Amino acid sequence: MPAGEGEINGAFGPACVRLDAGGEREVVWIQRLCPTRGRVMNVPATKGRRFGEIVVHDGEPTGERTYNGQSVAVFDELLLFEASSLPTLHATVNAADASDVDALVASFFARDFGAEPASSFHMLCACCSEGRVDWDEASVPTHGGSQTVWLAAPETEARQLLDAWATGGERSWNGLELFG
């Protein structure tokens, strides 16, 4: 394609987008592909939304997040530009330690899939969500024990990754189900 034609698919850094699915709102991290489009990098807990989808957002920030000292804007979603083919699943995992949960998440991301433990979600009221929210690695801990993990992967591959993870110590999983 000649220069200047087609979509821009660059690396414009991280940002956040407030998804709105039928009145259910959730702020997710995106990798910006251009000034107005981004790929969703979280596994949304909002039904009907998916890891890896590309959304178009407006250009006016409606909030701010800082993570490890880097400030990023929160934009409102305008529309879903490209759907993701990866289904959203959830399972209950049991892990002796937070590092075990981190290992599970890393195993999914190593395959270009997603994993989001319940302990990484933070519920905010609408007013706080539209303000400035500061995070650092210490304030976004995962934890051991039993918790739900949202997964973005084909079911067969999710089962394989969960089984492989469970062989690595005091780890187990159960109840893999399709989410929304």
On average, the pLDDT of the chain sits at 86
Residue that wins the pLDDT comparison between 136 and 47: 47
Q: Which pLDDT band, with edges at 50, 70 and 90, does 21 fall under?
A: confident
The Cα–Cα gap between 49 and 21 comes to 7
The Cα–Cα gap between 11 and 7 comes to 13
Least confident of 25-29, 35-39, 80-84, 128-132: 128-132
Least confident of 36-45, 114-123, 128-137, 152-161: 128-137
Strand pairing partners for 115? 151
Overall pTM surpassing 0.75 (yes/no): yes
Under DSSP, the state recorded for 180 is: -
Q: Which pLDDT band, with edges at 50, 70 and 90, does 174 fall under?
A: very high
Assigned CATH topology for domain 88-121+139-178 = Alpha-Beta Plaits (3.30.70)
Q: Where are the domains of the chain?
A: 88-121+139-178
The Cα–Cα gap between 120 and 23 comes to 22
